[in-house]
C-alpha cells in the first residue's frame, strides 16, 4: 500500500502512474463491475446458444440424455435490435438567435448528416444496440483523425463493451455528469503495442517477456501477491501480449481567459512574453474540469497530456438498455434466461422420455442387464429374456409417452412467457394476419410500448452523440468544404460550406430537434396508403400545396419526393412541330374556305365558297401576293401539336354535312308549292 512517507518521495511521473493504476484497479475490481462482466458474459453465451453448463452436460451424459437447445433468445434480441436501428432519427438544428440566418442552420444540419453517412452510422448503431440488448450496455466513441486528403474527419465507431471500465460510482445516464474517469483496456500483440508507442519499445518488451517491469514501484510498499495480481491485468506471457490502458479523467484546474473584442483567449496557450504584456483588468479566472488522457501498461507511463478535444468531455457515449439502482447495467437477456433454461430442460427431458421406456422385471428374467438398457434406448431394440418370462409376466415394459408429452406441453407455456416478457406476442402473428400499413403501425406501437425504457434510452444516446459531433465540428471544421448527402435512393444534394459559414456556425446557439421515423416496409406501405388518399386533394391545389401537404408527413424520403415533384411541376416544353404537305388544289371548296379562314383570309374563304380560284380583284397587291404564296401546289403547313390536324378533320366532317344540307335545299326548291299561303 502507498504510505504517506512514500508518497512524498514520488516524482511527478510516478504520481501520474499511481493515479492511473488506482483508477483502473478500482474500476475493474469493483463489485458492480465484476457482477456486470459476469452477467454480460453469460448473456452473450445464451445469445450464441451456449445454454448448458459443463456440470449439467456431465450429469445428462450419465443419464444417457442429450442436451437440447431451442434458442428463443437470439430472435428476440435480433428483433429488438432491428426495431431500435430502424427507428431512424431526423436531426435538425434551429438557430436560437433572433433573426438568425436559416441558411446557416440548414448547413449545420447537412454537415451532421454528411458525417453520419460518411461513417455509415446505421451499422455502427446496430453494433451498439446489439451490445446493449445482449449485455445491457453499448458504447459509441467519437474521435477525430485525418482523412486521405489531410483534412480532419470525425469518426463514429462502436467500442466493445468489455473493454470499457467507467467510474463504478457513476449513476447518471451521461457519464460526463458524475463520472470521474473512464478506462479503456485492450489486449494487443507486443509488436502492435511497440509500433503504437515506439518510445517505450524496450520497456514493453521487458513486460511481455518477463511478466515484470524491473524496479516497478520498488519505492512503494506493495504486497507481492497484489503486485502479481496487478501484473496479470497487463501481461499475457503465453502469447507475448500486453494490455495498454487508456484513462480519461477529470481534474479541477484554475483557468484564465483574456477577454478581447474578438472573443476570449486561453492564457495557457500564450507564450511567457505575451503573458507579461497582458492587461490584468481584462483577465477572467475560474475553476473548471480539465480532461486528461493518460496511457500506461504495468509500471510504464506511455502517454500523458491534456485532452485534445476542446469540449472537455469524455469521447465515449453509453447506451443502457436498463440499469439497477446501484448503476449496474442489465439487458433483456437477463430476464429471459430462466424461462429459456426451462424450455431446454423440458425439451431434453421430454424427448428423452419419448424415446425411452421403463422396464420392470425379476432378476432371473434377464440375462444381461447392461445390454437390456442399451436395447431399450433403441427404437428397434432386441431384448433377450429367459424362456417363459413374458408368459408369467416376469417382465413388463412401461412407456413414458404421457410424461414426455406433458413436458413438451409445459415447454410451450415457457415460450409464451418469454414472448410476453419481451413483447414478442405482438410480433409473432398471434394477433392474426395483418396486411395494412395502419394495422402494422398499431402492432409496432404496442411492441415499442412494451420496451419503452430501452427505446427511449436509445434515443437519448443518439441525442448525446449528436451534441458531441457538433462540438467536434465546431473545433475542427474551419476550411471550405464541398460534399454530397443522400436524401433518398438515387437522390443526392450538393452542399458547399465556406470557412466564413463555419465561423458563423461556431458563433450560433442552437436548439436540437430530433424526429423519429421508422424505415421499414410496413411504414412505407402505410405512407403509400396515406399519400394515395391525399393525392386527389394535392392535385387540385397544384404542386405548391402538394409540397406543403407532403411536408406535414413523416415520410423518410420526402425531401427527394419534393424535389421530383418540383421537377414535374415545371412548365412543360413546347410540343414538337410537325410538318405536313397539303395540295391546295385538291381541296374541296369548303376545305379551301376552312384553310383560308384558319390563315386569317376571309376574302379568300368567300371566294373558295363561290368556287373562285382567285380572290376578288379589289384585293390589295400585298394580300394577293400572300394568297398566291399560300396557294402553291404542295404548300407546306406547320401544324402545332394535334390541334390543326384535329381542326382539319373536323372541317372535313362539317363539309360532308354541308353538302348534304345543300342537296336537301336544292330538292326543296324544285318541289311545287303546296297551296297558297
Residue 497 is predicted with a pLDDT of 93
Confidence of residue 282 (pLDDT cuts 50, 70, 90): confident
The pLDDT, as a whole number, for residue 259 is 77
pLDDT (mean) for 566-575: 63
Q: Give the integer Cα–Cα distance in Å for 88 and 514.
A: 10
Res 665 pLDDT > 80: no
Neighbour-count burial of 368, counting CB atoms closer than 10 A to its CB (0-12 exposed, 13-18 middle, 19+ buried) = exposed
The pLDDT value recorded for residue 366 is 54
Mean local confidence (pLDDT), 445-465: 79
Q: What is the mean pLDDT of the chain?
A: 75
Sequence-distant (6+) residues with CB within 8 A of 368 are: 384
Which range has the worst mean pLDDT, 138-147, 518-527, 581-590? 518-527
Q: How confident is the model at residue 288 (pLDDT cuts 50, 70, 90)?
A: confident
Q: Provide the H-helix boundaries in 119-250.
A: 121-135, 175-178, 190-196, 201-210, 224-234
Q: Report pLDDT for 182.
A: 98
Across 121-136, average pLDDT: 95
Pairwise pLDDT comparison (301 vs 64), residue with the higher score: 301
pLDDT tens-digit map of 425-434: 544 444 444 4
Quick check: 361 pLDDT over 50? no
Choose between 374 and 170: higher pLDDT.
Answer: 170
**pLDDT in the model for residue 537:** 59
Cα–Cα distance for residue pair 634/583, rounded to 1 Å: 5
Q: Which residues pair with 496 in a beta bridge?
A: 482
Q: Is the pLDDT of residue 203 over 80?
A: yes
Q: What percent of the chain has pLDDT over 70?
A: 57
Residue that has been written with the C-alpha cell 380583284 in this structure? 617
pLDDT on residue 36: 96
Report the 10 Å Cβ neighbour count for 218: 10
Q: Output the CA–CA distances (angstroms, integers) from residue 39 to 324, 333, 599, in the order listed.
A: 13, 10, 93
Instruction: Calculate mean pLDDT across residues 352-368.
Output: 52
User: What percentage of the chain has pLDDT greater than the value 90?
Assistant: 32
**What is residue 315's predicted lDDT score, i.e. its pLDDT?**
97
Predicted confidence (pLDDT) per residue in 591-630, tens digit: 777 777 766 677 767 776 666 555 444 444 555 554 555 5
pLDDT score recorded for residue 114: 94
- Mean pLDDT for 654-671 is 55
Q: Which residue has the higher pLDDT, 552 or 364?
A: 552
Which range is least confidently modeled, 56-60, 480-484, 673-677?
A: 673-677
379-393, 464-478, 573-587, 640-654, range with greatest mean pLDDT:
464-478
Question: What is the model's pLDDT at position 27?
Answer: 96
Dihedral sign computed on CA atoms, order 527, 532, 537, 541: positive
pLDDT in tens, 72-83: 899 899 988 888
Distance CA 108, CA 95 (A): 10
For residue 611, what pLDDT is reported? 63
Of 66-70, 115-119, 571-575, give the lowest mean pLDDT range. Answer: 571-575
User: Given this model, what pLDDT does residue 133 score?
Assistant: 95
**pLDDT score of 274:** 77
Closest CA to 78 of 336, 405, 402, 366: 336
- Please tell me the predicted confidence (pLDDT) of residue 448: 52
CA atoms within 13 A on the CB side of 385: 19
Distance CA(643)–CA(580), nearest Å, equals 13
Lowest-pLDDT range of 97-111, 124-138, 445-459, 646-660? 646-660
The band of 226, judged by pLDDT with boundaries at 50, 70 and 90, is: low
The pLDDT of residue 404 is above 50: no
Quick one: pLDDT at residue 431? 46
| pLDDT score recorded for residue 276 | 78
Band of residue 352 on the pLDDT scale cut at 50, 70, 90: low
Provide the whole-model pTM: 0.68
Amino acid at each position: 500500500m502507498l504510505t504517506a512517507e512514500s508518497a512524498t518521495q514520488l516524482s511527478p511521473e510516478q504520481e501520474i502512474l499511481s493515479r492511473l493504476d488506482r483508477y483502473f484497479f478500482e474500476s475493474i475490481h469493483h463489485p458492480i463491475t465484476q457482477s456486470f462482466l459476469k452477467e454480460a458474459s453469460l448473456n452473450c453465451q445464451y445469445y450464441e446458444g451456449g445454454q448448458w453448463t459443463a456440470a449439467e452436460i456431465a450429469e445428462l451424459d450419465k443419464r444417457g440424455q442429450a442436451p437440447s437447445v431451442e434458442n428463443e433468445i437470439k430472435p428476440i434480441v435480433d428483433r429488438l435490435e432491428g426495431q431500435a436501428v430502424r427507428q431512424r432519427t431526423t436531426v435538425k438544428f434551429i438557430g436560437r438567435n433572433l433573426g438568425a440566418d436559416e441558411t446557416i442552420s440548414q448547413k449545420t444540419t447537412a454537415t451532421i448528416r454528411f458525417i453520419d453517412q460518411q461513417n455509415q452510422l446505421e451499422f455502427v448503431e446496430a453494433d451498439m444496440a446489439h451490445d446493449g440488448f445482449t449485455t445491457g450496455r453499448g458504447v459509441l466513441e467519437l474521435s477525430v483523425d485525418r482523412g486521405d486528403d489531410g483534412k480532419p474527419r470525425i469518426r463514429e465507431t462502436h467500442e466493445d463493451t468489455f473493454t470499457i471500465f467507467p467510474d463504478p460510482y457513476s449513476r447518471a445516464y451521461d457519464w460526463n455528469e458524475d463520472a470521474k474517469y473512464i478506462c479503456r483496456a485492450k489486449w494487443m500483440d507486443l509488436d502492435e503495442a511497440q509500433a503504437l508507442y515506439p518510445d517505450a519499445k524496450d520497456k514493453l518488451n521487458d513486460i511481455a517477456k518477463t511478466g515484470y517491469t524491473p524496479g516497478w514501484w520498488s519505492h512503494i510498499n506493495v504486497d507481492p501477491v497484489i503486485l502479481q495480481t496487478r501484473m496479470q491485468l497487463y501481461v499475457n506471457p503465453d502469447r507475448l501480449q500486453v494490455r495498454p490502458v487508456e484513462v480519461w479523467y477529470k481534474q479541477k484546474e484554475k483557468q484564465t481567459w483574456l477577454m478581447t473584442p474578438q472573443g476570449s483567449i486561453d492564457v495557457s496557450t500564450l507564450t511567457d512574453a505575451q503573458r507579461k504584456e497582458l492587461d490584468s483588468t481584462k483577465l477572467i479566472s475560474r475553476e473548471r474540469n480539465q480532461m486528461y488522457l493518460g496511457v500506461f501498461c504495468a509500471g510504464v507511463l506511455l502517454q500523458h497530456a491534456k485532452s485534445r478535444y476542446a469540449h472537455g468531455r469524455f469521447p465515449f457515449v453509453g447506451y443502457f438498455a436498463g440499469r439497477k439502482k446501484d448503476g449496474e447495467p442489465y439487458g433483456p437477456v437477463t430476464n429471459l434466461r430462466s424461462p429459456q433454461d426451462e424450455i431446454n430442460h423440458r425439451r431434453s427431458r421430454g424427448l428423452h422420455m419419448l424415446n425411452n421406456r421403463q422396464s420392470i422385471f425379476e432378476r432371473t428374467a434377464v440375462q444381461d442387464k447392461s445390454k437390456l438398457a442399451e436395447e431399450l434406448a433403441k427404437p428397434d431394440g432386441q431384448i433377450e429374456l429367459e424362456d417363459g418370462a413374458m408368459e408369467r409376466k416376469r417382465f413388463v415394459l412401461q412407456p413414458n409417452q404421457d410424461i414426455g408429452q406433458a413436458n413438451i406441453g409445459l415447454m410451450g407455456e415457457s415460450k409464451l412467457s418469454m414472448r410476453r416478457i419481451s413483447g414478442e406476442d405482438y410480433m409473432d402473428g398471434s394477433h392474426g394476419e395483418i396486411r395494412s400499413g395502419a394495422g402494422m403501425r398499431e402492432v409496432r406501437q404496442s411492441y415499442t410500448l412494451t420496451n419503452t425504457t430501452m427505446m427511449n434510452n436509445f434515443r437519448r444516446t443518439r441525442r448525446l452523440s449528436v451534441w458531441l459531433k457538433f462540438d467536434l465540428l465546431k473545433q475542427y471544421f474551419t476550411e471550405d468544404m464541398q460534399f454530397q448527402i443522400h436524401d433518398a435512393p438515387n437522390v443526392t444534394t450538393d452542399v458547399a460550406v465556406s470557412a466564413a459559414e463555419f465561423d458563423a456556425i461556431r458563433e450560433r446557439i442552437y436548439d436540437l430537434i430530433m424526429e423519429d421515423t421508422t424505415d421499414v416496409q410496413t411504414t412505407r406501405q402505410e405512407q403509400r396508403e396515406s399519400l394515395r388518399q391525399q393525392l386527389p386533394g394535392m392535385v387540385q391545389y397544384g404542386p405548391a400545396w402538394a409540397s406543403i401537404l407532403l411536408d406535414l408527413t413523416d415520410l423518410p424520403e420526402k425531401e427527394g419526393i419534393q424535389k421530383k415533384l418540383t421537377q414535374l411541376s415545371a412548365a412543360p416544353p413546347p410540343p414538337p412541330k410537325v410538318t405536313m404537305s397539303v395540295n391546295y388544289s385538291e381541296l374541296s371548296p369548303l376545305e379551301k374556305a376552312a384553310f383560308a379562314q384558319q390563315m386569317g383570309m376571309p376574302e379568300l374563304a368567300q371566294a373558295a365558297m363561290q368556287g373562285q380560284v382567285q380572290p376578288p380583284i379589289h384585293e390589295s397587291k400585298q394580300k394577293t401576293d400572300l394568297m398566291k404564296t399560300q396557294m402553291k401546289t404542295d404548300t407546306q403547313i406547320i401544324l402545332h401539336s394535334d390541334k390543326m390536324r384535329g381542326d382539319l378533320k373536323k372541317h372535313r366532317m362539317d363539309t360532308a354535312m354541308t353538302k348534304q344540307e345543300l342537296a336537301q335545299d336544292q330538292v326543296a326548291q324544285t318541289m311545287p308549292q303546296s297551296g297558297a299561303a
